[in-house]
Amino acid sequence: MFESVDLSLVNWSRAQFALTAMYHWIFVPLTLGLGFIIAFMETIYVKTGNPEWKRITKFWMKLFGINFAIGVATGIILEFEFGTNWSNYSWFVGDIFGAPLAIEGIMAFFMESTFVAVMFFGWGKVSKKFHLMSTWLTAIGANLSAVWILVANAWMQDPRGMKFNPDTARNEMVNFWEVFLSPSAVTKFLHTSTSGFVLASVFVVGVSAWFILKRREILFAKRSMVVAATFGAVASVMLIASGDSSAREMAHTQPMKFAAMEALYEGKTNAPLVAIGLIGDPQDDPMDSTAHEDFRLKIEIPNMLSYMAFLKVDAFVPGIKDLILGNKERGIMSYKEKIVRGYEAQQTLVAYKKAKKEKSADEAVLRAKFDDPQWIDNYFKYFGYGSYYDPDPLQLEKNAFTMIPPISLTFYAFHIMVILGGHFFMLFLAILWLLFKNKLENNRIVLWTAVWTIPLVYIASEAGWIVAEVGRQPWVIQDLMTTSKAVSQIDTSSVMLTFFLFAFTFTALLIAEIKILTKQIKIGPKKEGRKQ
């Protein structure tokens, strides 16, 4: 498992997975949020009996169906890539990672796919209440699918609830509930799902604004806006709260990602939060111990980063230098020491395998280490760091600095996500206020802002994904397995070929979706009779 790999293979495998994930994430958030918006609209229809709400529901349901179908196609490919391109990863943690994905397929996707058929084709064939229940279960099923996928992803970022088996060289689940209800899993699901709610709300508000600008279906558009903007405003509050909790959890479990999000090289007490920043051209080599953050422009909120991380305005927030070089005063172990300890854990596994094969007397002693909580906490905990070991002290120190994630990309993605998130919340409030005052139709600035916010919400959504995945590099499993050790030993050219095939296919699907959606939007909602 520890043989050297072709870096071009690693990079192309990463590129292919990133391509698939980012295209998939274009479709998923709209499904997560639009399902609930439709359910709310149909609930109003069933409660009031007003056929206009049925017409509204069916229009947005049609757009939901178009997006849902294409999202499923990209999701299936994404899951297959774990076996084709990341087989070492699948072997190392398949007993844990596979369980949530299996549950997602058996329970959530089954429920979602069953009731979506009733939702689309059951009008007039089943009772109003049963149809409404099917719509709600479709929405819930879509979000349950997200639960299990995000539990799996959260475990990669904060592994727990497992035990390493040296006989099989696999991590095995020992506590399902610790995996399922870990703080990282809870915050990741809440933050990701509410981001989908916000995206869908912006989508509905933006499309409705287009109808008003075109002086078409004014009542339809206003009613759609009331539901979507209300849902979006509530979701935005939840998004902010879950984002705060997620950042705090990250500061404890992934301090390097947290430091990269703020381009924080020097650890600080009373650390300020960079509200708006423009990173300058670094004059220092980031691999140099004298490196520091260099901003051309920086607007800070005093003490906010310390409070965000540890709920104390005077708390110390470790920077990149503290994490790489260590900080004895703050009890922070250097990456160099973690690499040495991780290498010892890896060598212990190699020695145990050899002793077991040769039936050596050392077999029992070596095996016992993997059951010793103290040894696990002091050595196996850093297992993945051992991949960066080098007997040359200078090269070892250099290797430690190569473990810094892409700082500029992580920093900008995080701040774009946060700034745009604030914009969405203010847009929802503005829409609701203008609707309440009956002044929305004449406010073309707000209406056009709503229309052009649709692409912005997708940018914010992708930026959040970049923070989560780029910020944790070089880890595929935090502290346990690096990305370079997770790839399958396959021919690089085959990965390159499939990358371009997927890029072409996904782009074609995206273009098709946009064309179909825009065509249906231009057609508008159909007229409905008074009977169901």
pLDDT tens, position by position, 345-380: 999 999 999 998 888 888 899 999 999 999 999 999
Q: In this predicted model, what pLDDT tens digit does every residue of 408-455 receive, in sequence order?
A: 999 999 999 999 999 999 999 999 999 999 999 989 999 999 999 999
pLDDT band at 284 (very low <50, low <70, confident <90, very high): very low
Residue 89: predicted pLDDT: 86
Helices (H), 49-127: 51-84, 87-103, 109-121
* H-helix or E-strand spanning residue 350: helix 335-358
Q: Which region among 108-117, 388-397, 512-521 has the lowest average model confidence (pLDDT)? A: 108-117
Q: Is the pLDDT of residue 225 over 70?
A: yes
Cβ atoms 317, 264 nearer than 8 A: yes
Output the six-digit token pair for 349: 């596994």
Question: Phi/psi class of residue 404: alpha, beta or left (left: φ > 0; alpha: ψ in -120 to 50)?
Answer: beta
pLDDT band at 293 (very low <50, low <70, confident <90, very high): low
Q: Calculate mean pLDDT across residues 289-312.
A: 83
Greatest CA separation found in the chain?
85
Residue 78: predicted pLDDT: 76
pLDDT band at 83 (very low <50, low <70, confident <90, very high): confident
Q: Does residue 474 have a cis bond before it (omega within 30 degrees)?
A: yes
Mean per-residue pLDDT of the chain:
89
Secondary structure of residue 300 in the 3-state scheme? strand
278, 281, 286, 292: CA torsion to nearest 10: -60
pLDDT band at 111 (very low <50, low <70, confident <90, very high): confident
CA angle, 216 as apex, 210 and 221 as ends, to 5°? 60
Query: Hunting for tokens 């299996």 — which residue is that?
Result: 102
Handedness of CA 359, 360, 366, 368 (dihedral sign): positive
Secondary structure of residue 54 in the 3-state scheme? helix
Output the six-digit token pair for 285: 């080599």
465 to 32, 195, 204, 471: CA distances (angstroms): 16, 11, 22, 10
Q: Looking at per-residue confidence, does 137 or 526 come out higher?
A: 137
- pLDDT exceeding 90 applies to what percent of the chain? 64
Residue 1: predicted pLDDT: 39
Kindly report whether the global pTM for this prediction surpasses the value 0.85. Answer: yes
Residue 456: predicted pLDDT: 97
Residue 130: predicted pLDDT: 93
First CA to last CA across the chain, in angstroms? 61
Q: Is the pLDDT of residue 110 over 80?
A: no
Residue 474: predicted pLDDT: 93
Pairing of strands 316-317, 295-301: unpaired
Q: Is the pLDDT of residue 4 over 60?
A: no
Q: Is the pLDDT of residue 529 over 60?
A: no
